[in-house]
Structure 1
Amino acid sequence: MHRFIIVGGGAGGLELATRLGDRYASPSKRHAAKAQVTLVDRYPTHIWKPLLHEVAAGSMDPFTQELEYAAQARWHGFEFQQGELAGIDRAAKRITLSAVADDDGAELLPPRDLEYDTLIIAIGSTTAFFGVKGAAEFSIALDTVSEAERFRKRLIAACMRAEHQVHERVESGPGTSASGEPRIQVAIVGGGATGVELSAELRNTAQVLSAYGLHKLDPRHDVGIVLIEAGSRILPALQERVSTATAELLTRLGVKVMTGETVAEVAPGIVRTASGKTIRADLTVWAAGIKAPPILGELDGLPVNRLGQIVVRRTLQTETDDNIFALGDCAACAWPGNERNVPPRAQAAHQQASFLMKSFAARLENRPLPEFTYRDFGSLVSLGHFSAVGNLMGGVIGGNMLIEGLFARFMYMSLYRLHIAALHGYPRMVLDTFAHWLRRSTLPRVKLH
């Protein structure tokens, strides 16, 4: 049987493994299995990465949203192997996975080799610190669930500590510390979608933590949120009118937006900018950019661009090997009619996964492969329970329209539901939505511990 190996269980990789397993690897009464499909990921569970800012703010419990790869593999006919990609031998058509250790450092699985006929690399992206002094050591990135949970716990601890600093309250009155600043200040570096969404979610979190009595701080004045963007406006990848509308909404929520400020150094308790400003930061989140994982530059003869992404043709095949494909954030694919490549968005990964299903049908029948064309349906940015903004484009409305408010919020929430439908089908998606609503109606709006 043809051996498909998909490395990376993100939005695109997991959707592709599920659909390949359903079509080719699951035997039925009418036909035998035609292919062996294996999914590889370094973690045992999947969570939709655009939700990590909600995990960090505590407005989503990750353990109710995580999907176990082994369970998905059992339901859809593919195999799951836990491990991190360590190397590729293109001549032998074989990949090497590194060992897997438990929380105490003991080895769970040894290094292994897996053989393939078609290899798909979909390992996503990681945070880019751009060589900024102290950024990697003294700020928190939101690449994984554990990092998001680490930030959430540190935020609650900071609120509880500030609550007991009563001497400052006596000296300066409610609302500010003795220095005139908020008692707690969170600095978010990067005014892209992650930074903007996190800043809005944190404002809601501060209100809920106060309502449940975890602190008696004024959630608007005692908890400061600063959003720092090096460019001239936040959300630089979106249209200016979307950026302007978002900045106005954040300002009304009490978020301080600083544009045109490049961060030069992150140190314990402070952030310094290139213009000489020093910003107090009890917690610093780094959301200033992404890059491809470093392992891609070490693979056997696969060319990468300056961002470390694998350069692929319009068929999503690598330039040097027709048996290796790449999709999602880790792939540099040309976007005809545009100066830049296909953007690193979840909708692009979803489109590429759907495209590869057609390509692999042609590949198994020895037919020529089609070429991928990205369709931009617009972008949406959530401002938590307060609002959402975005623009719909092209294939949705036949033009370009700014949307905000309740309709934009509904559209944003539907993106995740469509991802669930791609993994489980629409009937189970409806049941999952109902179950999620029941959980939300019986639990606090923010995780409190």
Structure 2
Amino acid sequence: MAVLLIGTLDTKGRELGVLRDRLRSEGIKVLVIDAGTGDPEAIEPDIPRHRVFEAAGSSIDEVRRHRDRGRAVSAAAQGAARLVEQFLSEGGIEGILAIGGSAGTTIGTTAMRAAPFGLPKLMVSTLASGETRPYVGGSDLMMLPSVADLAGLNRITRRVLINAADAMIGMVRGQARPRPDSTPSEAPLITATMFGVTTPCVDRARTRLEAQGAEVIVFHATGVGGQAMEGLIRDGQVDGVLDLTTTELADELVGGVLSAGPDRLTAAVDASIPQVVSVGALDMVNFGPLETVPERFKGRTFHVHNPTVTLMRTLPDECRAIGERMAQALFNARVETIVLIPEQGVSALDAPGQPFHDPEADAALFSAIRDGLRGATHTRVESLPLHLNDPRFADAAVARLSDANTRYRSSDSSEHP
């Protein structure tokens, strides 16, 4: 077992040497991966750069021939991630530590995102105090600001590097020690999605599931939340999904700021686990302060949720497109999947007398889902004459998921894909 230390040895060799030596001084095995394109300086790697680029289906000669820095960084990131996957399959990683500027951060965090939840991951970066979502995504990796540029050793950078190494040492040793919460749980693990405007529904559903003995992890459907949930599902740690708040689809298709990307809703289908899906908060697209809303949306229906969050009502055509996307993502489910439709409204703002109440838009959404899932083998649509935040809707969602999970567990394992 070893800590992977990732960086570009042609520009960060001395800095990586400080990390390596600190880790080794505490008895931690280290494998240094060189993701640079030039000759290494200061220290020699354990995994040389030619192996990194070969793992990406390229070569160091090809990268140098093109003289394209962006291409080189992309190949190094892809290669480093594939090496991480390889080491993980062999059971040889107990942590990942990387350093870098924009290129090194791209490489290091891409490699870290290939590792599962819970494995210690620490990125020392000049970009750690800015917009970090492109690097962190839905992962549990940590970013430590380097304060000064990682260009030479001085009293600032040396202290930051030592702190980073000590943090990794602590995490690795902590992983090895028994902890009060480390006893494996026999409770089924259920993930759920929630937004402020769907909180009454999801809170009730969570309480009901916990009373049945399940452990429920709720994700805030803010883009990163959806990505994090689906990452956990892809890691194979989830038994069932209560995806009642799919609002991130609206941001992806219409152009809001809380998209979870084009693959949202695919993880549970790919993992072949039961799920109940609904249309929570698909009446809205999210933006920042009102003045940041793009000009092309001028004249639309808005609701200022707070000074930093502006919500825009989705139109019937947009709702139709969202419904089609949802149906497309769920059509090929290979185990029981239920789409539960609340006919009386999809969020706290989509009820009679509320600013986003729009039966026409909701009808377009619902009909697109029904039409798109007609003929699906394992996915069915069920409509209830209730609002999403009606307690009876939450109870129905829990009942459907519990029944689906029971049937899934009791079926012959050979039937599962």
Q: Same fold (TM over 0.5)?
A: no
Which bin holds the TM-score, normalised by the shorter protein? under 0.3
Determine which structure has greater relative contact order: mean sequence separation of CA pairs < 8 Å that are 6+ residues apart, divided by chain length: 1
More strand by share: 1
What TM-score do you get using the length of structure 2 for normalisation? 0.26
More helix by share: 2
